[in-house]
Structure 1
Amino acid sequence: MKQFLFFITTKSYGIYINLLCFISPKKATLLAYSLFSQPRKGKLNSSKLPSFLAEAKKETFEKNKQSFQTYRWEGDEKIIFLVHGWQSNSARWRKLIPHLQETGHTIIAIDAPAHGLSGGKEFNVIQYAAYMETVAKKYTPNYIIGHSIGGKTSLYYQATYQNPSIEKIVLLGAPADFKIIFENYIKLLSLNSRMVQLLHQHYWDYFQIKVEHFSAKHFVSSIKAKGFVIHDVEDKIVLYKEGEKITNHWKASVLETTKGLGHSLQNKEVYKKIVAFLSDAN
């Protein structure tokens, strides 16, 4: 029943947007973009934080008049950034953090725009990467671990800001091409060709990017850091071939294949391999 209602709701939105784009293109574009960029879940309640987040050192930053939240677990001078994905928050790292603490390094988790305890209603990779850079100016990161779109953000961050302190990047179930995510959204709502053109133009006007160019193959060409790409063959949210695409273009990376873990990749053996990768002096 839930799937049926979701199908009816999304298709109804699509029909409305398709009609609206002929009457008021601007309103249709803003509505379509907002549905795509505004998460429906992933927020946290500051009075009911998971214990491991409540115990962390919390620090609020501001970027472009928008506040965002970080959590810090103190260690040595080496710093690990944790970058979660869509409709998630820093709580997703609960099982990984004890393993990372074995390295002795400082760990900093960032709540994405419109997620966790961070402000705003809109999520986008460019703003998320700007959050990372704001924190990086105060706490110089050496390693980045990103899950899903957080992994995509990690690649965009390093390609854009060229942070010389970054030595290694771990990607968990990360998409290679934004175009695939974009086209899945178009298909979900059954948007017409005029509406697709309007959305493409919106991305160019708003971000000065072409959807087809927002791809890992363009990002990794300028990344010198070593990469560890972990992807599950049964991932139904971000297909396994996305991990293959990333490593095919990123010569300094290796692909670790799992089976049966799905998109979350929450697994003790995965955590151990991440720690081993970060600890390897080579």
Structure 2
Amino acid sequence: MLHPKKALQLSYTLFSNPRVGKLSKENLPAVLQDTHKEIFEHDEHKFHTYTWKGNDTKILLVHGWESNSARWEKALPYLQKSGSTIIAIDAPAHGQTSGKEFNVPRYAEFINRAVKKFEPNIIIGHSIGGSACLYHQYLYPDTNIQKMVLLGAPSDLKTLLDNYIQMLSLNPKMFTHLEKHYLKNFNIELDYFSGAALAQQIKIEGIIAHDTNDTVVAFEEGKKIAANWEKGRFITTNNLGHSMHDETLYKEIYQFLFEK
């Protein structure tokens, strides 16, 4: 039987260390090869961005867990119709970004560094990348960002941890240990780290899109965020799963961003 401290360390490592999603210069997907690449330093980390150059309107793309900037390949043709400059960021411990550990507070710091550099007008996040966008907008509301789109984003960190513990058949007591870990290391109380609560503070316009058949992040999570975001519009999709790749959805997002 593992000592509680060792069990906590193992559980947090499993929860925060992505198993896939890393990239190297030698194995860059084609969609990322013909981009302007930059490396930024934040604390001891180096994170990577990829830019498809366009006009003065700028869109920042924020991917989710065990993914990387190449996940936006199917969305790019729709966004590029606007002529916008598009920037994608590799999350902590994902893509070409350094590190082994991922968490939302750190991701929000990376996002803020990119926001200061590129001054985007629009931010789009998928899955937990959407949660990080929401958290960033809550922490730093005074930016150039005017519109935000969240795709399949979880609301409550507590729910994510609960699901994770059940999925790995861990001792339910592990939740209490993980909760204390987040409070000690990130000054976050899980009861208060809620996308629904954060959304109440968001003043910009946005879209929350979620699929009824999402088996990774429950549909109810998206509904929680939408119900508390005054200027957020909820879009329900069917049979797209968690990836949310769909021509109809992308056209609706384009209309919201550029034709309203």
Q: TM-score, normalised by structure 2?
A: 0.96
Secondary structure, counterpart of 2:56 in structure 1: strand
Residue deviations 1:170-209 (CA, integer Å, cap 9, x gap): 0111111111110011112333344332211111100011
Q: What's 1:58 paired with?
A: 37
Structure 1 Cα separation of the partners of residues 238 and 172 of structure 2: 37
Question: Which residue of 1, 6, 11 corresponds with 1:32?
Answer: 11
Q: What's 1:20 paired with?
A: 2
Q: Which piece of structure 1 moves more, 130-139 or 81-90?
A: 130-139
> Amino acid of the residue matched to residue 223 of structure 2?
E
Structure-to-structure mapping, 1:34-183, within 5 angstroms: 34-183=13-162
Residue deviations 1:146-165 (CA, integer Å, cap 9, x gap): 00001111100100111331
Cα 1:167–1:86 shift into 2, 3 Å? same
Q: Which has the larger radius of gyration?
A: 1
Residue 165 of structure 2 contacts residue 172 of structure 2 at CA under 8 Å; is this kept in 1?
Answer: no
Would you say 1:192 and 2:174 are equivalent positions?
no
Residue deviations 1:219-262 (CA, integer Å, cap 9, x gap): 11221111111111111111111111111011111111111111
Secondary structure, counterpart of 2:119 in structure 1: coil
Structure 1 position 27, deviation (Å): 2.4
Secondary structure, counterpart of 2:60 in structure 1: strand
Would you say 1:224 and 2:224 are equivalent positions?
no
Structure 1 runs not aligned, ≥5 long: 1-18
Structure 1 Cα separation of the partners of residues 174 and 224 of structure 2: 29
Structure 2 Cα separation of the partners of residues 165 and 199 of structure 1: 35
Identity %: 49
> Amino acid of the residue matched to residue 166 of structure 1?
I
Runs of 4+ in 1 over 3 A off after TM superposition: none
Structure 1 position 114, deviation (Å): 0.6
> Amino acid of the residue matched to residue 46 of structure 1?
K
Secondary structure, counterpart of 1:227 in structure 2: strand
The number of aligned residues is: 260
> Amino acid of the residue matched to residue 209 of structure 2?
I
* Structure ranking higher in helix proportion: 1
Structure 1 Cα separation of the partners of residues 90 and 143 of structure 2: 23
Q: Which piece of structure 1 moves more, 252-261 or 185-194?
A: 185-194
Q: Which piece of structure 1 moves more, 193-202 or 112-121?
A: 193-202
Residue 135 of structure 2 contacts residue 198 of structure 2 at CA under 8 Å; is this kept in 1?
Answer: yes
> Amino acid of the residue matched to residue 241 of structure 2?
G
Structure 2 Cα separation of the partners of residues 194 and 272 of structure 1: 45
Structure 2 runs not aligned, ≥5 long: none
Q: RMSD of aligned C-alpha atoms?
A: 1.2
Structure 1 Cα separation of the partners of residues 75 and 129 of structure 2: 15
Q: Which piece of structure 1 moves more, 196-205 or 118-127?
A: 196-205
Structure 1 Cα separation of the partners of residues 140 and 128 of structure 2: 18
Q: What's 2:254 paired with?
A: 275
Structure 1 position 137, deviation (Å): 1.3
Secondary structure, counterpart of 1:61 in structure 2: strand
Residue 39 of structure 2 contacts residue 46 of structure 2 at CA under 8 Å; is this kept in 1?
Answer: yes
